[in-house]
């Protein structure tokens, strides 16, 4: 394998395939806990498998979005170095996006990860982020967090040459989003509620087959970075603003060098160079099938996105259980 960085004109294809193997390992490990009712065990299985897979790769990786700060996360913590040495990369990851979905055997649980050149991913603190996102093909700047949800729906409908009642918006089903849902429904937009997994919710805007046009709501800032990496690969739009509820959260931001607490970030502020995004389904969802075991083989279904080549590939893996 070459030692090119991800910012080089020609991206090492082997590096992309290595990334898929990492999320596959996490998905397979967590699948054993699907429906068992133990969120922590499912998450730990994914963390262990993902860390082991990363440390087997020829990369010089640093976790910039992970399981939390070192004191709270013994593995895959922010700042942890992984890999055997090679291209220097920032790594954003969520070994199991949808721990409760996994524990309850519900749809859309994923193992997700993004890579970019060292120093080019936003080191987002573990706080909430106001988010709005849409897929590709719209005029730049069409979305604005300072507008109401209804105004954003109208702007998107105008750009599509349709009416607001033909726009479907994905929203996390949380009490804090009651005003957002009321604003959306005031103009007739459809609201598609999800119980968890806002990385998948944002990514759904980039695939017309999901029927999701827009994502609006407040979710985790680390998940926002992962979603941005995916959207950068397909040309979608994103805007986010970090939300700070406590002095401790503001302190986390300060430790990461964030001084403008009210800043609106767009996609290129969050992912400042070419990126790879990979996701492997744990449970079957709108984008990906889940892990399955059939006739002595384990099967996985993954998405691989590369912003350098603007490609999106589906990867289906079949491996003998004793392989």
Identify the residue with better confidence: 239 or 322. 239
Place of tokens 């970075």: 225
pTM of the model: 0.88
User: Could you report the per-residue pLDDT of 198-250, keeping only the tens digit for each?
Assistant: 888 898 898 888 899 999 999 988 899 999 999 998 889 999 999 988 888 88
pLDDT, mean over the chain: 90
| Residue 12 pLDDT grade (very low, low, confident, very high; cuts 50, 70, 90) | low
Q: Tell which residue, 113, 115, 114, 151, has the closest CA to residue 132.
A: 151
User: What is the rounded CA–CA span in Å between residue 285 and residue 191?
Assistant: 18
pLDDT at 301: 98
Helix (H), strand (E), coil (C) string for 197-253: CHHHHHHHHHCHHHCCCEEEEEEEHHHHHHHHHHHHHHCCEEEEEEECCCHHHHHHH
Domains and CATH numbers, the chain: 13-119+275-320 (3.30.540.10), 128-270 (3.40.190.90)
Cβ atoms of 96 and 43 closer than 8 Å: yes
163 token code pair: 């009416």
State yes or no: pLDDT of 293 exceeds 90. yes
User: Could you report the per-residue pLDDT of 14-59, keeping only the tens digit for each?
Assistant: 678 889 999 999 999 999 999 999 999 999 999 999 999 999 999 9
Please state the φ and ψ torsions of residue 134, each to the nearest 5 degrees: -145, 170
User: What is the rounded CA–CA span in Å between residue 135 and residue 232?
Assistant: 10
Cβ atoms of 288 and 305 closer than 8 Å: no
């Amino acid at each position: 394998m070459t030692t090119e960085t991800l910012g080089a004109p020609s991206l090492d294809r082997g590096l992309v395939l290595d990334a898929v193997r990492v999320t596959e390992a996490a998905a397979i490990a967590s699948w054993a806990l699907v429906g068992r009712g133990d969120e922590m065990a499912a998450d730990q299985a994914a963390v262990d498998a993902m860390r082991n897979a990363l440390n087997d790769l020829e990369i010089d990786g640093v976790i910039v979005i992970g399981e939390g700060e070192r004191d709270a996360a013994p593995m895959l913590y922010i700042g942890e170095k992984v890999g055997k040495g090679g291209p220097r990369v920032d790594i954003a990851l969520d070994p199991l996006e949808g721990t409760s979905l996994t524990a309850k055997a519900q749809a859309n649980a994923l193992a997700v990860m993004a890579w970019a050149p060292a120093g080019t991913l936003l080191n987002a603190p573990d706080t909430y982020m106001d988010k709005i996102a849409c897929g590709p093909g719209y005029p730049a700047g069409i979305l604005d967090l300072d507008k109401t949800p209804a105004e954003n729906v109208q702007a998107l409908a105008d750009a599509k040459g349709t009416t607001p009642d033909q726009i479907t918006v994905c929203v996390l089903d949380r009490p804090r989003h009651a005003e957002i849902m009321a604003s959306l429904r005031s103009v007739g937009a459809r609201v598609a509620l999800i119980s968890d997994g806002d990385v998948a919710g944002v990514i759904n805007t980039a695939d017309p087959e999901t029927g999701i046009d827009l994502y609006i709501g407040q979710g985790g800032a680390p998940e926002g970075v992962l979603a941005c990496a995916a959207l950068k690969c397909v040309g979608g739009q994103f805007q986010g603003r970090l939300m700070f509820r406590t002095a401790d959260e503001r302190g986390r931001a300060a430790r990461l060098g964030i001084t403008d607490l009210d800043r609106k970030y767009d996609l290129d502020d969050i992912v400042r160079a070419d990126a790879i995004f990979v996701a492997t389904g744990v449970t079957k969802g709108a984008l990906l099938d889940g892990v399955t075991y059939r006739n002595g083989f384990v099967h996985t279904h993954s998405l691989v996105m590369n912003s350098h080549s603007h490609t999106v590939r589906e990867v289906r893996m079949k491996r003998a259980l004793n392989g």
